[in-house]
Amino acid sequence: MRTIRQEPAPAKVNLALHVTGQRADGYHLLDSLVVFCDAGDVVTLTPGPLSLRLTGPFAQGLEADPDNLCLRAARLAGREAAITLEKNLPVASGIGGGSADAAAVLRALDAHPAHPETLGADVPVCLAGVPCRMQGVGEIVTPLPALAPLHLVLVNPGMGLSTPEVFRALTRRDNPPLPDRLPDLGTPEALLSFLTDCRNDLEAPAIALLPVIADCLAALQDAGARLARMSGSGATCFGLFADPQDAARAAREIGATHPDWWVVATGLAPAPAKG
């Protein structure tokens, strides 16, 4: 690496997440619709020996140790770089986090390792960085035709959840998948009506472990979200809005009532630049 590279690591949101089975190795089979937001972390790589520096509002939630996914991504790619991670997203919160950061490091290095999913199940979809259907345990990623430009409010109650613990708390692992052929999701009404029939199967077990998630969902609904749901294994929840002004107003209202929660209004991210 000869030049300085800066890459956004956009927040990932699972608009729907169906848990459809479990492999012999314990990993769960998923069928998920994934989008990316304007909000996110940022990684900056400069030439030099491999190192990691953490900045940003959530830097204190992480250690710059060798297990950090940014460093693991660079090692998997067999490359050196001095990495700065600006951590703007809450840690361990169901919106990509470490996987988004690892994918951004691989993009900045222009590296294409054979099995990026070994870094984390969400790394392949974060590498794609565009709206996708994600299947298998995360390694099957199919980009979707353009989705309606919805606006999101992300709400995190300031408490993390352990992903394995949430999966372990599932009562059913054989839930129905999404339809084989997805309908046209290009208008807000079509997307919202489709999503209403979808689920996040991890929502109920996550609420059982961390009941405040139900309060986040209720706050989004009370603030006018057309649909409120948890992302990933939680605890971050999202509300969907057709109008960016409604999303901004909802974020202000929820933030004023719950000053200890992390609340942002965000649009969908543009596709990352190639190369």
Stretch of residues binding ligand C5P (CB under 6 A), selected from 38-46, 159-167, 193-201, 262-270: 159-167
Minimum Å gap between C-beta 84 and ligand C5P is: 23
272 known ligand binder: no
Q: One-letter amino acid identity for 102?
A: A
87 flagged as catalytic: no
Q: What are phi and psi of 65, to 5 degrees?
A: -95, 170
Active-site position among 12, 31, 87, 246 = 12
Stretch of residues binding ligand C5P (CB under 6 A), selected from 79-87, 114-122, 200-208, 246-254: 114-122
Peptide bond into 256 cis (omega under 30): no
Active-site position among 31, 41, 122, 246 = 122
Helix, strand, or coil (residue 85): strand
Go through 136-157 and write b for each residue having 16 or more CB atoms within 10 A of its CB, e for each that does not: ebbbbbeeeeebbebbbbbbbb
**Judged by CB under 6 A, how many residues of this single chain contact ligand C5P?**
11
Element (H, E) at 5: strand 5-22
* Residue closer to ligand C5P, measured from CB, 119 or 254: 119
Task: Work out whether strand 51-55 and strand 82-86 pair parallel, antiparallel, or are unpaired.
Answer: parallel
274 flagged as catalytic: no
Q: What are phi and psi of 210, to 5 degrees?
A: -145, 85
Q: What are phi and psi of 71, to 5 degrees?
A: -70, -40
Figure out which of the listed residues 8, 40, 94, 138 binds ligand C5P, where binding follows CB under 6 A: 138
* Residue closer to ligand C5P, measured from CB, 88 or 163: 163
Q: Tell me the HSE value of 148 on the side-chain side, using a 13 A CA sphere.
A: 22
Is there binding between residue 167 and ligand C5P (CB under 6 A)? yes
Altogether, the residues listed in the chain come to a count of: 275
Is there binding between residue 97 and ligand C5P (CB under 6 A)? no
105 known ligand binder: no
* Residue closer to ligand C5P, measured from CB, 81 or 134: 134
Is there binding between residue 120 and ligand C5P (CB under 6 A)? yes
* Residue closer to ligand C5P, measured from CB, 69 or 223: 69
Figure out which of the listed residues 11, 13, 17, 30 binds ligand C5P, where binding follows CB under 6 A: 30
Interatomic CA distance for residues 177 and 85, integer angstroms:
36
98 known ligand binder: yes
**DSSP H helical segments within 109-162, as ranges?**
123-128
Interatomic CA distance for residues 68 and 244, integer angstroms:
35
Is there binding between residue 164 and ligand C5P (CB under 6 A)? yes
92 known ligand binder: yes
Residue stretches of the annotated binding site for ATP: 90-100
Binding residues vs ligand C5P (CB under 6 A): 27-28, 30, 120-122, 137-138, 163-164, 167
Which residues are identified as catalytic? Answer: 12, 122
Residue stretches of the annotated binding site: 90-100
